[in-house]
């Protein structure tokens, strides 16, 4: 029998309905039944296809309030748990560690979500006890390992009982992730892959060819004025690019914020809050915003700089057209981008980019 949400408990069905989840996405349809049966899972699906809920739903279904801390998730997801009365606590860098410690001591927690650095810090301070944890999830596994968190993640895992159920979900599964899975998942783990999921074709991709980088700013301004009422994310190559382009756009009276790795957690949160609330409709970002952030209602993504890695391109454009909604993705290409374009076009996408040539 094919899985659907009617097979879940009543509180969780109600939660999903209230959150607008009508039917499981392909990755959820494949992964959730296996997770409910107790299998460890290595899951792969494109950005925006519901990977986080694919492990979050079964964890919440299994955890009982009276059992205390039973689940650890590295990288955030929390909305569904309130319907079962579970306490989900989130800890990350940039917030006062003393406040985290006080909060952990004051309340009983069922699910802890956090970044590797802060979770490791809380463990080392004897503030967080993972000895009773039964479920462990590593979200955006490829990005976490690529960012150099592997040692922190391994240390955290050493504090979790070996008799646990584990989930690793990722948009890509390079060799490093495969090796990590073989090391930390049980031998009978299930590999669940959903490639070219049905949500992607709702993104209209357009390539704008320019003869030189000097044309980019004026063409960007035209695009932004065409999409004044939509939320737009502009992707650039470096932190310096993000800062400079945001300032140039502000000088042209656009309401814009930058999002990059030089910002503190608090600064990033403030920028995202302005964007999510619609007070600012344009974000200029490095790849830090292409993964793992749930930004709803993005109508347009613009690749001001085309990435060398085609997988990064997929993650970037996946910020729009999420959960089946329609979106547009524009990419500015100059002659020096020819190699990157070749990689993107040969990634196996079911359709070619629509090309607009500007002389």
- What is the pLDDT tens value at each position of the chain, 359 positions in all? 789 999 999 999 998 888 888 899 889 999 999 999 999 999 988 766 788 899 999 999 999 999 999 999 997 444 556 667 889 998 987 788 999 999 999 988 999 999 888 999 999 999 999 999 999 999 888 877 766 788 999 999 999 999 999 999 987 787 888 999 999 999 999 999 886 544 444 788 899 999 999 999 999 999 999 999 899 999 999 889 999 999 999 999 999 999 887 777 678 878 888 988 889 999 999 876 555 555 778 899 999 999 887 777 877 887 887 655 678 999 999 998 888 888 787 764 434 445 444 43
Residue 71, Cα to own-chain centre: how many angstroms? 19
DSSP state letters, 52-91 = HHHHHHHHHHH--GGG---EEEES---GGGGGGT--EEEE
| Helix, strand counts (H, E) of the chain | 13, 14
Distance from C-alpha of 278 to C-alpha of 229, rounded to nearest angstrom: 10
Q: What pLDDT score was predicted for residue 340? A: 85
Phi/psi of residue 168, each to 5°?
A: -125, 120
Mean pLDDT, the chain, as a whole number?
Answer: 85
pTM of the model: 0.66
pLDDT in tens, 129-149: 999 999 999 988 887 776 678
Distance from C-alpha of 48 to C-alpha of 246, rounded to nearest angstrom: 26
User: Do 121 and 97 touch, CB atoms closer than 8 A?
Assistant: yes
Domains of the chain: 5-194 (3.40.50.300), 200-357 (3.40.50.300)
Alpha helix ranges (H) inside the chain: 10-18, 26-36, 51-62, 97-106, 116-124, 141-146, 150-157, 175-184, 216-226, 239-251, 265-276, 310-317, 338-345
Residue of 256, 265, 250, 266 lying closest to 232 (CA atoms): 256
């Amino acid at each position: 029998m094919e899985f659907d949400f009617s097979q879940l408990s009543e509180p969780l069905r109600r939660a999903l309905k209230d959150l607008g989840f009508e039917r499981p996405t392909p990755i959820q349809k494949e992964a959730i039944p296996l997770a409910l049966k107790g299998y460890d899972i290595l899951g792969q699906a494109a950005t925006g296809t519901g990977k986080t809920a694919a492990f979050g739903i079964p964890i919440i279904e299994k955890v009982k309030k009276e059992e205390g801390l039973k689940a650890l998730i590295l990288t955030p997801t929390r909305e569904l748990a309130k319907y079962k009365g579970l306490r989900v606590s989130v800890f990350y860098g940039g917030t006062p560690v003393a406040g985290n410690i006080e909060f952990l001591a004051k309340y009983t927690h069922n699910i802890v979500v956090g970044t590797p650095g802060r979770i490791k810090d809380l463990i080392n301070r004897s503030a967080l006890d993972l000895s009773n944890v039964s479920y462990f999830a590593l979200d955006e596994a490829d990005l976490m390992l690529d960012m150099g968190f592997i040692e922190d993640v391994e240390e955290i895992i050493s504090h979790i009982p070996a008799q646990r159920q584990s989930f690793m979900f990722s948009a890509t599964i390079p060799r490093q992730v495969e090796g990590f899975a073989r090391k930390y998942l049980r031998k009978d783990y299930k590999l669940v892959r959903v490639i070219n999921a049905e949500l992607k074709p709702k993104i209209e991709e357009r390539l704008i060819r320019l003869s030189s980088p000097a044309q980019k700013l004026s063409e960007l301004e035209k695009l932004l004025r065409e999409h004044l009422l939509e939320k737009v994310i502009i992707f650039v190559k470096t932190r310096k690019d993000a800062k400079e382009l945001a300032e140039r756009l502000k000088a042209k009276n656009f309401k814009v914020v930058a999002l990059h790795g030089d910002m503190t957690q608090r600064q990033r949160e403030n920028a995202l809050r302005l964007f999510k609330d619609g007070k600012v409709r344009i974000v200029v970002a490095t790849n830090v915003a292409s993964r793992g952030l749930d930004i709803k209602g993005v109508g347009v993504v613009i690749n001001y700089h085309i990435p060398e890695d085609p997988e990064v391109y997929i993650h970037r454009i996946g910020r729009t057209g999420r959960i089946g909604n329609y979106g547009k993705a524009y990419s500015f290409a100059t002659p020096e981008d020819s190699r990157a374009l070749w990689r993107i076009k040969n990634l196996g996408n079911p359709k070619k980019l629509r090309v607009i040539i500007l002389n």
